[in-house]
Structure 1
Amino acid sequence: MKRKKAFGIVGSTVLAASLLLNPYSFQWGKDESKVSASSFNRDVYVSSQNDFDKAIAEIKSGKIQEHDISKKVLDKGKIKFSNGKGKKASLESYEDLVFHIDEVRSDKHLQKDLAKAIKKGAKVYLYGGISIPEFADLLSLEKVTTKGKDSKGIEMTYRYDESESELAKTNKYKDNPESAYEQGEDFIYDVVGYTLDEEEHNQLVVTNINAFDEEGNKVEATEEDVIKDVLMATSETIDVEEQEYAAAQAPKLFGFLSPNNAKAATTVKSSSTRIYGYVKYGGTNVGRTYTDWVLQRGKSETDSTWDYFNVLDKTTIDAYSGWRATKWWIDHDIPYDRDYIWDWDPGSTSSGSYDISFGAPWSVGLGFTLSTDPDIKDIGNQDLDFGRWDITDYNMDGERFEPGTAWKSRQSYKHARMNITHRATMTKVSDKYIPPVSSNISIAVSYYY
């Protein structure tokens, strides 16, 4: 990601110095063991007869803008890449395992092997059209969860593995003719990756690769597309965790230089989820969105009927290869008829700063800016319980939009849920007509309390 590039060089330099002067303990996925030059290395296994040499060479050439971190990590030899067929290979020595969903569905023994691997700390990626509930079922996971902290530092656990068909048995959907998705259907992804290691950056990876041919027809994402995404996610994890370690060790490393124990100049904050929506045209990646979010619970001392929640959505849009990010459509949907939307921000505007303001008991007051001053249309609906925005501009490449939505949920259910959707449209000016193409990614945010 572009905003990490400059720091990655500094962080890696500090880390190298700290490894020479400070042999502290570290172990992959654990707090304490011995540091070595390979502490942040990853062994990636892909169940395929293809070797992907072309994809790796393309990344290392530096010609793909969005793979700057992947190139840096691959150049340092941090990722060892292996391929073959899982039925014939031992999976125990790999940190990352990549399998097509059809291979896993058809092989009960492979399912058991992958279930064993993930319980021992591996990250497993399944690709080819899979929901998170099916992922959990195939790998015998009781739950798929991540932890996060709200803006007040309160730890919350989010859950993703419950199927919509099961939830529908105890939760009635709203009658919403303008719903952004098929009610009662699980979201399907091109890639789902997950590890039980709660300390890992990108603990949960969900990706949609929206690919189009040169006539604008939707086509299937290729195996090479998937491998590039897995390598990018793995590279981000290595890069961030190197930086975090370097930042943590810097006071020890430089303590002898200053009586005040100098602090690391820069720190990075890892994220437990990685939610990417790519769009490709004619085999070239032309844009993407990547989403992070915070779900918060407000406290009311006097209300014994309702609990109060809000989601702060932080999503960046990028355009590549001469394309422009011209349209952005965002939806925050409250799916169940027992819950009621209260407010959403920002409202319609085309200039200036943008405010997110929810009164008590949410007590949220935030603001953000967009350098391009796009035209933002608030098209949310109080009756149908969704916050929604339609954003247009000549080119929003690199912008981060940060909308928020607040709602109330009946206390008796002890369950808050929201569906978040991002669609980004890319266009290109050319001598010949090139159709606009769009990415599309949704995530269901679920919190039990």
Structure 2
Amino acid sequence: MELRLIDVRGTNPDYRAVVPRGAFDVEHAVAVVEPICAAVAERGEAALREFAAKFDGVEPEHLRVPVEELARCADELDADVRAALVESIRRRSEVAQTEGTPALVRAEVAPGAVVETKTVPVSRVGLYVPGGLAPLASSVLMNVVPAQVAGVGSLAVATPPSREHGGLPSPTILALCHLLGVDEVYAVGGAQAIAMFAHGVPGLCEPVDLVTGPGNIYVVAAKRLLRGIVGIDSEAGPTEIAVLADDTADPAFVAADLISQAEHDPMAGSVLVTDSPELAASVNQLLAGQVAGLDNVERIGTALAGPQSAVVLVDDLDQGLEVVDAYAAEHLEIHTRDAYEVAHRVRNAGAIFIGPWSPVPLGDYSAGSTHVLPTAGAARFQSGLTVRSFTKTVHLIHYDEAALREVGPTVEAFATAEHLPGHRAAITVRTAAEGVDRW
């Protein structure tokens, strides 16, 4: 089990074309989910039950999980798991308190000319929590906590039903919803959950304004299809990790961290960028032994052997930084000398993990950071899910008469240049000299 080698030493290529990427054909998946979303819009609960039986292998007794089931799952939590969840909630909440913006900012651009920027939370949000290969209870707190801190008034969670649990979702997911005070939880997964949130289902679920949370390619496709009917956070693809490392890195740490993301999905990407051939060789030698003791050997092996994973050999740290900026990884680890300084030279990454004691799984659960992050290079222009993701801004413009008269000629000149005389007239009717007939 070895990562393939991409050697860019002595070259200056287009790094976006060089860095490893897996195939993720969302547009093809849109065609698959379109009839599913249409069926939910047209037939509501009946369609949701039909798709649960078809895709999840079980039809839930209740599509909306009863509140008493949420409480039961919380009561039955293992004590150590409960403590871990509570501590992770505390840390994510503390960081979330730093992520917002002032509720109102005022700018007086001239005497009597005021523009305020008001930040308000979205009214209602649908939060999607994946099931599938691994029921990601951690995604509950990563969605719910920043939404609550933002002040969202109405939160609903959707997560797939489980045949193993008699049509209920994962008990840990339900318990965490209860701990967070979320009692509107639906045993609905996949594209049909996104359609339920977007269109609403009479008698079951009111439509939402925004859908957030990661999911498989069909969830992503449904978000793309329904965007505009409902807001979305992002189109997140398979998870990925890049490690920028030099000869000071511990190969055992690097190998373990590459494996940790490969464990998520056969399409997950694990990329090592290094100027040390010796480190690259050591990491490759360690992979098989570290994977052998894990449960998900086949999944990990598929991910590490896929076109989305590789070792990229570079001349030096500067070239390595060019490569990781072009890759714009969801998760980027820095294992170099002066790792903190190097981290602050990176422009493009969803989240940056600095030094040997900050592995990506820390961020998945308990660092306090978000783990809902941009993938597939979207970190070049997009941020992870934070409090700001659940807010919107509104400008309030308040000019008095003197302020409008002062700037009026500027507006009139601009309108004239754009051949919009009606725009110009809306100023002139207010600012024309006294005695001019405005009617």
Does the TM-score normalized on the shorter chain lie above 0.5? no
TM range, smaller chain: under 0.3
Which structure's residues are more often strand, by fraction?
1
Higher RCO (CA-CA < 8 Å; seq separation 6+): 2
TM-score (norm: length of structure 1): 0.27
TM-score scaled by length of structure 2: 0.28
